[in-house]
Amino acid sequence: MSRTTIKRSKALVDPEVQGGVLRKIAIHWVVFFICNAIALTIWIRLFEQPDVPWGRTFGDTMKRFLPFFVITLALIPAFVWDTLKMTNRFAGPILRLRGALSDASEGRAVEPLHFRNSDFWGEIATNFNRLMERSASDVADARRQSRDADDQSGDESTPA
């Protein structure tokens, strides 16, 4: 099986991928926050304070919903941390696969891949390991055939 239970020691295993995901979530969070503030301001202006200037309505909205805004802002680190842990489940396996492919392409020995039990794409490790076993078997067969051919040509060159 291509699974392991070893815990990750780093929170950010692939800064490019995970950083991109976190930036996108942060942008969505800010846009969501701004849209909610605007929607609440419009709601209060239209249904509760139709004769009050927009500036005052906005100020009243901010005062009235301050606890909501503070809690929303306070939750951001929890969402970032949870997202980071979730992205580890696909970034870690792909990082290990990239390393193994790099080693294989350079002709270095490649150990079997083992992903954590909680990681996504466990079948990638299984398939990669089967591919590496098959490649090793094919190389061994080719070497054996080459030796056999060399042995046969060596037998033919010796006088009988």
- pLDDT tens for the chain, 160 residues long, are 566 666 767 778 899 999 999 999 989 999 999 999 999 999 999 999 999 999 999 999 999 999 999 998 899 899 999 999 999 999 999 999 999 999 999 989 899 999 999 999 889 999 999 999 998 888 888 889 888 888 887 666 555 5
The enclosing H or E element of 52 equals none
In this predicted structure, what is the pLDDT of residue 149?
Answer: 85
Angstrom CA distances, 99 to 111, 134, 145, stand at: 11, 19, 31
Q: Can you give the pTM of this predicted structure?
A: 0.67
DSSP state of 95: H
- Helical segments of 48-65, H only: 54-64
